[in-house]
C-alpha cells in the first residue's frame, strides 16, 4: 500500500469520526433542547393545573355564596308571606270589629232615639224640627254667626234651639263632630 492511500484512509477515518462526533453532538443537543422544551411544557401544565384548582375553589366559594343568598332570599320571602298573611288576618279582624261596632252603634243610636222619645224633659213636639220619633235627625247650619271654634254653629234637631248653652255644650261634648248621624 502506498502512503498516499494510507493517508487517504486515515483522513477518511478521521472525517468519519468527526462526522460521527458531529452527529452525536447534534443529537445530544437536540435531545437536550427537546428535554428542555418538555420540561417547560410540564411546568406550564402544572401552572395551568394550579390555576384551574384555584379557579375551581373560587367557583365553589361563589356557588356557596349564591346558595346562601338564595336561602336568605327564600327566608325573607317566607317571612314576607307570613307577615302578609298576618296583615290579611288583622285586616279581616278589623273589618269584623268595624261591622260589630256599626251594629252596636246602630243599637245605641236606636236606644238613644227611643230615650229621646220617652223623655218628657226633652221638649220636642211632634212636627217640629226636633221630632226624632221618625228616626230622622235634622241638622241645620246657621250661616249668620260663628261658634267659639270659628265654625258656623250647628243647630241640632235633638237639642231644642231654646235649650240652655250648657246643655248644648254637654251634647256637643258627647258628639265631638258637632253633627249627629242617623
User: Positive or negative CA dihedral for 51, 54, 60, 64?
Assistant: negative
Tell me how many degrees the CA angle 62-64-68 measures, rounded to the nearest 5. Answer: 115
pLDDT tens-digit profile, the chain (182 residues): 688 999 999 999 999 999 999 999 988 888 888 888 999 999 999 999 999 999 999 999 999 999 999 999 999 999 999 999 999 999 999 999 999 999 999 999 999 999 988 888 876 555 444 444 444 444 444 444 444 444 444 444 555 555 555 544 555 555 555 554 44
Q: Is the model's pTM score more than 0.85?
A: no
92: Cβ contacts below 8 Å, ≥ 6 apart: none
**Which neighbouring-strand residues pair with 154?**
141
Amino acid at each position: 500500500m502506498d502512503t498516499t492511500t494510507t493517508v487517504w484512509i486515515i483522513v477518511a477515518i478521521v472525517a468519519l469520526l468527526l462526522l460521527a462526533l458531529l452527529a452525536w453532538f447534534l443529537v445530544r443537543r437536540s435531545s437536550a433542547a427537546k428535554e428542555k422544551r418538555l420540561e417547560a411544557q410540564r411546568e406550564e401544565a402544572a401552572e395551568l393545573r394550579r390555576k384551574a384548582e384555584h379557579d375551581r375553589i373560587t367557583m365553589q366559594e361563589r356557588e356557596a355564596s349564591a346558595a346562601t343568598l338564595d336561602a336568605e332570599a327564600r327566608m325573607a320571602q317566607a317571612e314576607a308571606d307570613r307577615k302578609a298573611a298576618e296583615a290579611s288576618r288583622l285586616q279581616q279582624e278589623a273589618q269584623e270589629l268595624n261591622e260589630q261596632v256599626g251594629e252596636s252603634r246602630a243599637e245605641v243610636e236606636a236606644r238613644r232615639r227611643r230615650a229621646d222619645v220617652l223623655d218628657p224633659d226633652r221638649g220636642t213636639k211632634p212636627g217640629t224640627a226636633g221630632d226624632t220619633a221618625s228616626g230622622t235627625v235634622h241638622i241645620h247650619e246657621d250661616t249668620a254667626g260663628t261658634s267659639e271654634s270659628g265654625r258656623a254653629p250647628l243647630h241640632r234637631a235633638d237639642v231644642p234651639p231654646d235649650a240652655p248653652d250648657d246643655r248644648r255644650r254637654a251634647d256637643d261634648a258627647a258628639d265631638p263632630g258637632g253633627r249627629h248621624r242617623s
